[in-house]
Amino acid sequence: MLEDTAPMAAHREISPLLKTGLELGPVLGFFVAYLWLKDRVFTIGGTEYDGFIIVTAGFIPVMLAATGLLWWLTGHLSRMQVLTVVLIVIFGGLSVWLNDERFFKMKPTLIYLIFGGILGIGLLRGQSYLRVVMEGMIPLNPEGWMKLTRRLCAFFFTLAVLNEIVWRSMSTETWVYFKTFGLTAALFLFFMSQSALFRDHSLEEKG
């Protein structure tokens, strides 16, 4: 059976505020830095780089440092966190190396396609891989896990399509707002909208 975390070390609890800061801080930092540098052009080694590329170049080591610190403090990282940081390094690195922002903009698409694909493979096998990584957080019966997995699988594919539409048809600034706030809000609203499923399929005893 798949495990949620790689066998790195014993799991240690840290302050939820610190954990949230390490997870979201780099993303918010990217947003603020982009707003600050978006209209500037930097010449390095005879090549001109716009603000987006410079911010992306800075975001990669910041994300690596934050993820490394999170691992050091907690003793573990989820596979989703590891995959995300790997894709940031690959696609962010390609954007900087080739001086082409499109690669970094495609990164969320690939992440959501991978997540949706993994859940889809599990569904084809009659299993909920989502249950493997979230069972300790949400007490659901097997039917509830399968329903939630189907919905989240479809939702991930929808986010992948939305990201493609936004970055291909709208400005870079619009995409940055969408990436920073739109995708985060969409995930929050998705789980909020599943309240009826959580209620109807909860394993908790009903008084």
To which H or E segment does residue 48 belong?
strand 47-50
To which H or E segment does residue 41 belong?
strand 41-44
Query: Does residue 62 have a pLDDT over 70?
Result: yes
Q: Between these two residues, 1 and 138, which has the higher pLDDT value? A: 138
Give the 3-state secondary structure percentages of the chain, helix then strand then coil, rounded to 5. Answer: 70, 5, 20
Question: pLDDT value at position 203?
Answer: 80
To which H or E segment does residue 49 belong?
strand 47-50
Confidence of residue 132 (pLDDT cuts 50, 70, 90): confident
Whole-angstrom distance, CA of residue 4 vs CA of residue 7: 9
pLDDT digits 0-9 by tens, 22-37:
989 999 999 999 999 9
State the chain's mean pLDDT as an integer.
90
- The helix/strand/coil state of 136 is coil
Q: Which residues, in sequence order, are CB contacts of 45 under 8 Å at separation 6+? A: none
The CA-atom distances, in angstroms, between 103 and each of 92, 96, 107 are 7, 9, 7
